[in-house]
Amino acid sequence: MKVSAMAAPPTLLTVVALALLDDADRVLMQRRPESRAHGGLWEFPGGKVEPGEGPAAALVREIAEELSITIDAADLVPLTFAANPEREGTRPLVLLLYTCRRWTGSLVPEDGAQLQWLESEALSALSMPPLDVPLAAALRRHLKNLP
């Protein structure tokens, strides 16, 4: 078969997500509007990295769009990542989680999203997309200084 006749392999989708932390180590979670993929579930604010963009720049952009606050790329600390199961026909996705403790501006959720500050222990009780479950567990261990 000619190369041009073959379907292009799906490229890796990189999604960046933020655990924004307040002085009491609470984390800001966002509930996606019902109309979107994973609608109604609680997740970390963030979104897809665009072509040609770096992950930190993408997160600064997404946070400004979704929460209307400004974060500095220099304040982003990579924490962990999760990837979807590698199956033929499924677009590979990697979700990179950063923490950040500084921002400027007032939090204003984008179109109908709900926001909530939560203790890390409370995360396990939330309905979240599957990849967020291990991310939330890693965040809790990190905040509680657990191995």
Ligand X SMILES: Nc1nc2c([nH]c(=O)n2[C@@H]2O[C@H](COP(=O)(O)OP(=O)(O)OP(=O)(O)O)[C@@H](O)[C@H]2O)c(=O)[nH]1
Count of alpha carbons within 13 angstroms of residue 78, beta-carbon side = 8
Taking CB under 6 A as the rule, does residue 125 contact ligand X? Answer: no
Q: Is 146 in the site for ligand X (CB under 6 A)?
A: no
Which of 17, 56, 60, 76 is in the footprint of ligand X by CB under 6 A?
17
Give the residues across from 29 on adjacent strands. 116
Site for ligand X in 30-59 (CB under 6 A): 37-38, 43-44, 46-48
4 vs 51, which CB is nearer to ligand X? 51
By C-beta, is 73 or 129 nearer to ligand X? 129
100 is a contact residue toward ligand X (CB under 6 A) = no
Compare residues 47 and 109 and give the one whose CB is closer to ligand X. Answer: 47
Beta strands in 1-147 (DSSP E): 13-20, 27-31, 42-43, 46-48, 77-83, 93-100, 114-118
Q: Which amino acid is at 60?
A: V
Put the strands of the sheet holding 93-100 in their side by side order: 46-48, 13-20, 93-100, 77-83
The site for ligand X (CB under 6 A) is made up of 15, 17, 37-38, 43-44, 46-48, 95, 129, 131-132
